[in-house]
Structure formats: C-alpha cells, structure tokens
Amino acid sequence: MSKLSIPRIVKMPVEMQATDLLRDSIVNGTIPSGARITEVQISDQLKLSRATIRTALHQLAKEGLLTLVPYTGWTTVSLSARDVWELYTLRSAVERLAAQLVAESINSAKSSRLNWAFDGLVKECKKGDKSRIAEADFALHKTIIQMSDHTRLASQYALIEQQIRMYIRSSDALISDITAIIEQHRPIVDSILTGDVEASGHLSEQHNLTEGKKLSDHLKQAEAKAAAAPAPAAAIKKKAPAKAPAKGRAMRVSALPKLR
C-alpha cells in the first residue's frame, strides 16, 4: 500500500481553522463557560461568513462544548459535579483499555517514548510550576493513548480531555501534593514497561477514578457554597443594571485572536 511517509502538506479549510480557534477559545477560557454567543458576532470578529461559523459551531456542539437552542442561541456548556463524574468514569475506562493495549505491545521504541514522557513529568514536578506540571501530566496520559495506536480510542479520548481541561480552567484548584504526583504515576508506567497487562489496566483505572473523585468533591463543595450565597438573580426584575447575562441577549465576548 501507499503508506509512504511523505509529510504531505495538509489542506486547512478556513472552516477547520475557525473550528480550532473557537475550540481553543472555549477550552482556555477566552470564551467563559456558560456564555451565550451568536453566529453573527463571531462571524463579524473573525471576518468570516455566518455559514462557515455555523458549521464550526455545529462541530463544537457535537464535541460537547456548545449547546444550541433552536432559534434562540448558542451557549457554552458549564460542567456540573455530575458532568465531572461522567468525564472521569469514562476516562478511566478508556485509559484502562489504552494502558492494556500498550502493555500488551510494549517494545523498545515504545519504552523510550514512555520513559521520555514520564521524565518530563518528573522534571516539571521538581521545578514546581503547577500549570506546567498539569500540562506534563496531560502529556503523559496522552502519550499512552497515542501509543495504543487505536484511532477511535484516541479521538474519543480527545473529546474527554477537552472537556476536562475546560473544567480545570474554571476551577483553579487542583494540584495539592506535588511530590505525590510522581509516585501516583510511576507504578502505572512501570507496569506498562514490564508488559503487565492486568496491573497496568487496573492502576490506570484507579488513578483516574480517585483523581476524578477528588475533583468532583471539590466542585460539589463549590456548588454548595454557591447555593448558600446565591447571586441576586430572582429579586430584581426590570431596571437591573450590570448583571450576569443569564438569560438576556448574547454577551459581547472579549477579543478573539486573529485568524491565520
């Protein structure tokens, strides 16, 4: 077959560029979670036609980042504690499979690649920059996914990761005990390296489950606090000035990065 490894320049329709840009903006918080956005607003800012933007928005909706109410508007999702639970249970199942597949097919090339990713995490932990640690953490997990050589698993994982990133952005708290992170991941990596299918799967699963529970609990607590001191939502009716645009017209979103 023609599996030549020519770089093969990739065509990037504007459509896809716009999709990526918007996805980034949502995931990294430029467009805040729960925000209402409109097609014309985006198309104006990006200088693209509404049809193009529309396609992009539909894509993102399919990815679970947006919801569309017909004839009314688009809204970025805001994740609840239940959503986080769903995300992490799913993630644990997917990562378990990936770890098993990699352990099953481990070889020297994969070993060095896995070690490289793990070393990256170790280094960042020693430096201490939390956001960089989180990034290296993601990278290690993603490396395992990619090494499983399973396109559907990978694309499924990408969706989950996106939404998790979104949540982590919105809740600033996450990493507590830095030194523990290394020891949490080391057994997973080791079991994969030694080809222990059972252990690698089990450890991966448990790691995600506990991690997810931690985040979910944190969010539940935050939700409870929010419920105790609710925003002044119901009281004012008419002339209320500056107020969260919970139901009103679409809010103006701060400047999006330029296309291209």
Helix/strand number for the chain, H first, E second: 9, 3
Residue 203 interacts with, from its own copies, DNA, none (CB under 5-8 Å by kind) = none
Query: Which of DNA, its own copies, none sits in contact with 240, Cβ below 5 to 8 A by type?
Result: DNA
* Position 121, amino acid: L
Helix 130-147, helix 108-127: angle, nearest 10: 170
**Does position 72 bind DNA by CB under 7 A?**
yes
Q: In angstroms, how far is CA 68 from the centroid of its own chain? A: 20
Residues 23-62 that bind DNA (CB under 7 A): 37-41, 47-52, 54
By the rule CB under 8 A, 55 interacts with its own copies: yes
Angle between the 130-147 and 178-193 helix axes, to the nearest 10 degrees? Answer: 10
d(CA 125, CA 132): 8
Per partner kind, with CB cut-offs from 5 to 8 A, the member of its own copies, DNA, none near residue 87 is its own copies
Among 153, 174, 193, 256, binds its own copies (CB under 8 A): 153
* CA gap 36, 50 in Å, rounded: 16
Longest dimension (CA), the chain: 69
| 74 binds DNA, rule: CB under 7 A | yes
Given the rule CB under 8 A, which of 27-35, 37-45, 144-152, 168-176 is the region that contacts its own copies?
Answer: 144-152
Tell me which of 81, 90, 134, 182 binds its own copies, using CB under 8 A. Answer: 90
- Residue 73 as a binder of DNA (CB under 7 A): the answer is yes
